[in-house]
């Protein structure tokens, strides 16, 4: 991979062919279930087997995406799918769920695992955590700048890094979005995103589509990314048509190889799919209004003529696998041709006839090379052709052609055969969990305005960057103070490290961590780490992994129903958010800045959807959180959280008076008056 790996999407067999013929080094695809693009065609097991054979014949790697969150009852089916994939074998499996990771490290330790972008990894600490967990590659968050990527690579040069270079940009950091789940019950973390963010969500004075970004395109800058430490250049698009896949793949291939990009190709790439053009904003660290865009009628109308031209990119087989051919023509023995590839495969074909004495024109080396080099229509290209020819003999063209076809067909078949990855059946028994009889309550505040009623809470969590004097004052008032680390740590790991170290020296040693990035950094500082809802824990195996990782306890994903959450086993203490406006998105690009609001993160403003419903936006740690329009509340129903060890009151936009009132009701377990939601605890998600 001197020039890096071109990694292309394959939503179905035709797209896979388009990717391979356009020059992909690897493809990523889904197989029925557990793929972050569940609505793509994806591949049946028979199709997956055929796809692996097809790709391996051509020297192309296959990465299987099993990168959704899973519940306990789904893990056996996921393991069965991966066991089948190991038999083929695929070259790597893409994973988001830490419970699945935990099981795979025991069942098939030799299987290469890649950390999905759904894991929200964007800091050196996050990459270090992935390396220690056993991942061989990390797919970085799309929001990172070139400078931030370079910093990660310099910190951990011994792990492969992958990044997206072309395709759709989600407004939210991947793995930190619950908009589709909360608004329609379709979880993006489970491959079912309905893309409500592409609908009108308007900031005052904004674009009207202030959650819709233009598509990313860094294709002309692949060499820059390579120099920054990227090993694999990923194209988004498992839901896109084959022509799109071919165009993006071919353009990436040219760019990675240092070849010029034809103007017509770039124009067709724009037309086949874009949202009013492309953006490079995150890579350059230039955020703002210029990054936003929607799919226009003009964009759609321009697609068909472009597609007609782009089909030519994958109409023919790409001869890409170099082989060494060796021909032997000797008197009294059959003509023999061998073919060898760089992977150590050697095929041989022998004619059923002997060379005859030449009557007029004996066979020559140039003649043989001319016909043996005609490998078009096959995956092979003749790198060298050696001819061992006795004098005065004749060999018909038909014999040379037949030997060439036979030997390449045998070599092609050999290339399909690879040793299966061992998959051992290891028993996994989930130990039962015994929760507390009474549900202790914790509270999270976005500032230091904490009412006295919170003294009944077992802890209060406040922003990590509050002044030390303020933290000490809270402690003097009798509060057990924990520090909330930001979920977005883009380029700020060192400063966060310094702030936490200072706080720890003053006795503030307990932190809330909502991603693996922050959890790892806190662990390295020797702090007590409490996991947040945004770690996306949905199964017992994930609880086991986080126990081994070193969490003291964790909040569970609010995409679980109460029944599913209460049924989880393992010993690690766990809890649920029982009150608060749930964060629906974590964004690095503030949607309110489009309208000039909230530029200094001092006030809370809102987005309005097409129905006039308001969604507050708050900023913390350099990122913005889009909050739900109404609070979640399980108050009055806390007894239904029977499998939990604690509940969390998550305050965001409430006034001091409202905070005090909620706390009073919470400790009396009485319901809140006004409009609230039970979230997904009752209805669940797809």
* Mean of pLDDT values over 100-116: 97
The 10 Å Cβ neighbour count of residue 495 is 11
Token pair belonging to 674: 């006004």
Stretch 402-417: mean pLDDT: 97
Query: Where do the H-state alpha helices sit in 185-327?
Result: 222-228, 242-256, 263-272, 281-284, 297-301, 303-310
- Domain region containing 326: 321-416
Quick check: is 588 in a domain? Answer: no
- Asked whether residue 88 is assigned to any structural domain, the reply reads yes
pLDDT at 603 over 80: no
For residues 381-397, average pLDDT: 96
At 125-152, the pLDDT tens digits run: 999 999 999 999 999 999 999 999 999 9
In a domain, 105, yes or no: yes
Average pLDDT over residues 303-309: 90
Q: Report the pLDDT value the prediction gives residue 280, as an integer from 0 to 100.
A: 94
pLDDT the model gives residue 266: 94
Enumerate the H helices of 39-178 as residue ranges. Answer: 45-57, 75-87, 98-107, 124-133, 146-155
pLDDT, tens only, 268-290: 999 999 888 899 989 999 999 99
**Mean pLDDT, the chain, whole residue set:** 95
Cβ atoms of 216 and 164 closer than 8 Å: yes
Give residues with Cβ within 8 angstroms of 461, minimum separation 6: 442, 443, 444, 445, 481, 482, 483, 484, 512
CA-CA distance, 225 to 247, in Å (whole number)?
20
Confidence of residue 347 (pLDDT cuts 50, 70, 90): very high
Average pLDDT of 559-587? 98
We report the CATH number of the domain holding residue 653 as: 3.20.20.70
The span from the CA of 115 to the CA of 138, in Å, is: 5
> What's the rounded Cα separation, in Å, for the pair 378 and 393?
29
At residue 556, does pLDDT exceed 80? yes
Q: What is the pLDDT of residue 282?
A: 96
Q: How far apart (Å, rounded) are the C-alpha atoms in residues 394 and 487? A: 75
Does one domain contain both 303 and 378? no
For residues 351 and 490, membership in a common domain is answered with no
Strands (E) across 498-596 are located at: 510-513, 528-531, 553-555, 574-580, 583-587
Look at residue 54 in the predicted model and tell me its pLDDT.
98
Residue 338 confidence class, pLDDT cut points 50, 70, 90:
very high
Mean pLDDT of the 180-201 span: 96
Phi-psi region of 628 (alpha: psi -120 to 50; beta: other; left: phi over 0): beta
| Residue reference for tokens 């495969």 | 345
> What's the maximum distance between 2 C-alpha atoms anywhere in the chain?
109
User: How distant, in Å, are the alpha carbons of 70, 546, 612, 675 from that of 186?
Assistant: 14, 26, 22, 22
> Are 277 and 163 contained in the same domain?
yes
**Whether pLDDT at 341 is above 60:** yes
The SS3 call for residue 65 is strand
Based on the fold, state whether residues 510 and 568 are members of the same structural domain.
Answer: yes
Q: Are residues 118 and 239 in the same domain?
A: yes
Q: Encode pLDDT of 438-460 as tens digits.
A: 899 999 999 999 999 999 999 99
Based on its alpha-carbon atoms, the radius of gyration of the chain, rounded to whole angstroms, reads 29
The residue among 314, 336, 355 that closes a domain is 314
pLDDT at 132: 98
* Interacting residues of 262 by C-beta distance below 8 A, sequence separation 6+: none
Pair of tokens at residue 29: 């695809």
What was the pLDDT predicted at 426? 73
* Mean pLDDT value of segment 428-439: 86
CA-wise closest residue to 565 among 577, 552, 581: 577
Ramachandran category for residue 536: left, alpha or beta (phi over 0 → left; psi -120 to 50 → alpha): left
Look at residue 495 and tell me if it is in a domain: yes
Q: How far apart are CA 545 and CA 75, in angstroms?
A: 14
Domain count, the chain: 3
Beta strands of 488-613 (E only): which ranges? 510-513, 528-531, 553-555, 574-580, 583-587, 605-609
The first and second tokens of residue 147, run together, are 């400078």
Which tokens belong to 488? 């977005």
> How many CA atoms lie within 13 Å of 384's alpha carbon, on the beta-carbon side?
7
Whether the Cβ atoms of residue 280 and residue 218 lie closer than 8 Å to each other: yes
User: Is position 607 within any domain?
Assistant: no
Instruction: Answer whether residue 519 shows pLDDT above 60.
Output: yes
Q: Residues 551, 554, 557, 560: is their CA dihedral positive or negative?
A: positive
Tell whether 235 and 148 lie within a shared domain: yes
Residues 6+ apart with CB under 8 A from 170: 142, 177, 197, 213
CA dihedral sign of residues 126, 128, 134, 136 = positive
Determine the Cα–Cα distance for residues 294 and 274; give it in Å rounded to an integer.
Answer: 8
Is 359 in the same domain as 487?
no
Same domain, 291 and 334: no
DSSP 33: B
Name the token pair of 305.
């003529």
CA-to-CA distance for 78 and 70, rounded, in angstroms? 9
Beta bridge partners of 619: 624
Q: Is residue 599 pLDDT above 60, yes or no? A: no
Whether 391 and 537 share a structural domain: no
The token pair that represents 432 in the structure block: 């039962």
What is the pLDDT at residue 438?
86
What stretch of H or E contains 545?
helix 540-549
* Residue 421 located in a structural domain: no
Q: Are residues 400 and 503 in the same domain?
A: no
pLDDT band at 312; cut points 50, 70, 90:
very high
Burial of 216 (0-12, 13-18, 19+ CB in 10 A): buried
Residue 320, number of CB atoms within 10 A of its CB:
16
**Residue 269 covered by a domain:** yes
Cα 442 → chain centroid: 32
Q: Given 353, 382, 416, which residue is the final one in a domain?
A: 416
Q: What is the pLDDT of residue 115?
A: 98
pLDDT band at 601, cuts 50/70/90? low
Last residue of a domain, one of 314, 330, 358: 314
191 sits in the region (left: phi over 0; alpha: psi -120 to 50; else beta) called left
Cis before 89? omega within 30: yes
The verdict on residue 89 lying in a domain is yes
DSSP H or E segment with residue 505: helix 493-505
pLDDT of 437 reads 80
Tokens of 19: 């990717």
Asked if residue 666 and residue 561 are part of one domain, the reply reads: yes
Residue 341, beta-bridge partner list: 323
Average pLDDT (610-614) is 96
Segment 18-29 shows an average pLDDT of 98
**Rounded mean pLDDT of 198-209?**
94
Q: In this structure, are 282 and 358 located in the same domain?
A: no
Output the pLDDT for position 36: 75
């Amino acid at each position: 991979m001197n020039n890096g790996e071109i990694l292309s999407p394959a939503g179905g067999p035709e797209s896979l062919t388009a990717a391979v013929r356009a020059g992909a080094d690897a493809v990523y695809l889904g197989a029925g279930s557990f793929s972050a693009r569940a609505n793509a065609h994806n591949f049946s097991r028979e199709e997956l087997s055929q796809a692996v054979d097809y790709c391996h014949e051509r020297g192309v790697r296959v990465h299987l995406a099993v990168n959704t969150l899973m519940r306990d009852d789904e893990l056996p089916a996921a393991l069965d799918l991966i066991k089948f994939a190991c038999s083929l074998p695929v070259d790597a499996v893409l994973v988001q769920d830490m419970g699945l990771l935990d099981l795979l490290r025991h069942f098939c330790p030799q299987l290469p695992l890649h950390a999905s972008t759904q894991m929200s990894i964007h800091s050196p600490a996050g990459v270090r955590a992935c390396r220690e967990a056993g991942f061989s590659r990390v797919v970085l968050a799309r929001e990172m700048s070139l400078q931030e990527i370079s910093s990660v690579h310099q910190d951990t040069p011994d792990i492969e890094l992958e990044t997206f270079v072309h395709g759709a940009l989600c407004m939210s950091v991947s793995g930190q979005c619950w908009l589709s789940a909360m608004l329609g019950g379709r979880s993006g973390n489970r491959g079912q995103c309905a893309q409500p963010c592409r609908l009108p969500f308007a900031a005052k004075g904004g674009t009207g589509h202030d959650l819709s970004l233009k598509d990313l395109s860094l294709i002309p800058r692949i060499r820059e990314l390579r120099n920054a430490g990227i090993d694999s250049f990923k194209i988004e698009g498992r839901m896109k048509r084959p022509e799109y896949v071919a165009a993006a793949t071919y353009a990436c291939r040219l760019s990675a190889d240092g070849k010029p990009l034809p103007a017509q190709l770039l124009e067709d790439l724009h037309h086949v799919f874009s949202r009013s053009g492309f953006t490079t904003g995150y890579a350059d660290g230039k955020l703002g209004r210029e990054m936003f865009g929607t799919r226009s009628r003009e964009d759609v109308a321009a697609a068909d003529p472009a597609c007609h031209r782009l089909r030519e990119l994958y109409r023919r087989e790409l001869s890409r696998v170099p082989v060494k051919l060796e021909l032997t023509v000797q008197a009294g023995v059959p003509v023999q041709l061998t073919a060898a590839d760089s992977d150590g495969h050697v095929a041989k074909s022998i004619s059923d006839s002997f060379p005859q004495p030449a009557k007029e024109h004996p066979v020559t080396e140039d003649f043989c090379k001319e016909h043996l080099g005609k490998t078009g229509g096959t995956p092979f290209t003749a790198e060298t052709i050696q001819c061992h020819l006795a004098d005065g003999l004749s060999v018909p063209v038909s014999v040379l052609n037949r030997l060439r076809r036979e030997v390449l067909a045998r070599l092609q078949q050999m290339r399909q055969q690879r040793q299966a990855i061992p998959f051992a059946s290891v028993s996994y028994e989930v130990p039962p969990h015994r929760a507390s009889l009474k549900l202790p309550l914790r509270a999270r505040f976005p500032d230091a305005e904490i009412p006295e009623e919170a003294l009944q809470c077992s802890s209060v969590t406040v922003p990590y960057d509050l002044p030390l004097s303020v933290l000490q004052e809270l402690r003097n008032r009798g509060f057990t103070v924990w520090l909330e680390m930001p979920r977005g740590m883009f380029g700020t790991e060192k400063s966060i490290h310094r702030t936490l170290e200072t706080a720890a020296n003053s006795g503030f040693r307990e932190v809330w961590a909502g991603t693996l990035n922050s959890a790892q950094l806190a662990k390295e500082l020797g702090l007590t780490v409490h996991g947040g809802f945004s770690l996306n824990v949905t199964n017992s195996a994930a609880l086991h992994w986080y126990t081994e990782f070193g969490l003291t306890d964790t909040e569970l994903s609010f995409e679980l129903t109460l029944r599913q959450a209460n049924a989880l086993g393992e010993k690690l203490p766990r809890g649920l958010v029982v009150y608060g406006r749930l964060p629906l998105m974590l964004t690095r690009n503030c949607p309110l800045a489009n309208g000039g609001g909230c530029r200094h993160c001092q006030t809370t403003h809102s987005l309005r959807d097409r129905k006039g419903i308001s969604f507050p936006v708050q900023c913390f740690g350099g990122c913005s959180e889009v909050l739900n329009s109404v609070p979640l509340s399980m108050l009055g129903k806390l007894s239904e959280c029977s499998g939990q060890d604690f509940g969390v009151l998550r305050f965001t936009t409430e006034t001091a008076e409202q905070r005090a009132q909620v706390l009073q009701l919470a400790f009396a377990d009485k319901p809140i008056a006004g409009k609230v939601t039970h979230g997904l605890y009752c209805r669940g998600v797809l």
